[in-house]
A and B are shown apart, each in its own frame.
Chain A
């Protein structure tokens, strides 16, 4: 009954209540969003660097190399010589070395030349159909199959570069031979083919463009006969047999070649510490909002106390104990906080699903709004309740220590 009176009371002043709830909702929503983002972001980033100890690529920004080769979100740093890379790929430290060659995309999805090993090491194999064996055979990620409605046997033309608006390669169509199993990682949004397909596509293009100037260029029609000499790839993903490689290679590569070896773990840590500042600023902001909502609850309770002291005196006259009045005020504050918390967690998750929509199209990264990070969200709930108690403590004590005789006599 006390709770019922409290409930009726908070809705008796709907505007005050609404203000308090909106403020609480905003702060809880932002913090929830941050908690979920941080958690899932790190998980996603970490899951994608499983089995990658180092990335071998052209010199330039190591972070860029990692972002482009591992996460497929940035432009590559440049190309490396395949023959040179191969000598390192056969190094005795190396357990697996998977070459990547970028060049084209289909409607914004990258077409990556690699070996069928990519799917076994970084994916979960093939769900339907066969791995690519011939030039221009492709295996598409499960997310692409679903979004582009592609089936085995379908064909499509790629466009040059990273942008969907790139020049169309109309000479050769790719044929879908397989669909990769869903992994929840970047592989779901990639189109995989063999490296020769990437070379073949661009050799011919290059030839046609150069036809006018170089008449004696030898036209290579036989797809199978593309030599590896002088050909370039974009990067190599390396997993070592011996962890010595992680320590030694970056310097070895830098001293002996024109390439660089970048560690995804280190680069991602660096990226997180950069993000960290922004996330922290947002977190402080939301704690600030929570503080303000605490003050707003306090002011609302304190202000109405003046009008309500007769009401409290009356409850005492009718047999309510002082403790019941204390509860009444506390419960009112708690109700606001709990309502705000519930709305906040829901709004935060709606926000996350909106972010997930745009991040998936831009960064091939999606978030799950239905995940619960129990521990951190539990702390957040505790904090919300604490704010509620803190805001109510002075008004509640005032209600508790009300002098009923004086209150009623001065009426």
Chain B
């Protein structure tokens, strides 16, 4: 569950953003839309603890993440926040399975290999486990990053333009998987996008 209050952020003098309050409960989802320059990514980074708000608070299950120290925040983020980006990034020298397992090791110190296998299978990637991420198609890469975002069963799953580089078929597939997995794991899902195709899948929407 995530709740924000009076969030604002500015990049210097010229770019000031003030965001509407957001509340998403576990297992449900929210689509945040808006044109470019409206601060979609900034809001997402604030929610994910990648940026600290100038004012306001971000509560994830009653923890104000803006008040955590840098090191604690890194750890909290790894454990409780999953992030899917427009472009999927990987540790290029590790294979698909290792990349997913890595995310579990970084936060818990244990390698959740079984979990990773199960997630990857559910996302239809069981034949690509030993491949380098760069050998996969963009749609497949996006699915790997969903698996990686969910490996620690986070309380919050954030997706930044997860479908905008995908074709219609893949976009629907990825969006469907996001919605389904969020429900399955009881995760609050927040997607920011300008992608009109997602408006039918996610009914709970706000516009910046």
Contacts and interface: CB of A to CB of B under 8 A. Distances in A.
Contacts of B105: 1
Contacts of A310: 89
B93 A318 contact: no
A408 to B, nearest CB: 6
A322 B106 CA distance: 12
B91 A321 contact: no
B50 A404 contact: yes
Contacts of A316: 74, 77
Contacts of B94: 5, 8
Interface residues of B, number: 32
Contacts of A5: 91, 93-94, 102
B74 A11 contact: no
Contacts of B50: 317, 404-405, 408
A411 B85 contact: yes
A322 B77 contact: no
Contacts of A314: 89-91
Interface in A283-327: 308, 310-311, 313-324
Interface in B27-44: 41-42
Given A1-B105, A405-B51, A320 B90 contact: no
A409 B90 contact: no
A12 B70 contact: no
A9 interface: yes
A317 B86 contact: no
Residue in A1, A315, A318, A408 whose Cβ sees the most chain B Cβ within 10 Å = A318
Interface residues of A, number: 26
B92 A319 contact: no
B70 A405 contact: no
A355 to B, nearest CB: 40
A9 B91 CA distance: 9
A411 B86 contact: yes
A262 B91 CA distance: 70
Interface string B88-130: 0111111000000011011100010000000000000000000
B162 interface: no
Contacts of A320: 74, 78, 106
Contacts of B142: none
Contacts of B93: 5, 8-9, 11-12
A12 B132 CA distance: 11
Contacts of A409: 41-42, 45
Contacts of A322: 70-71, 74
Contact of B75 (A1, A319, A405, A411): A319
5 contacts: A1-B105, A315-B106, A317-B48, A317-B78, A404-B50
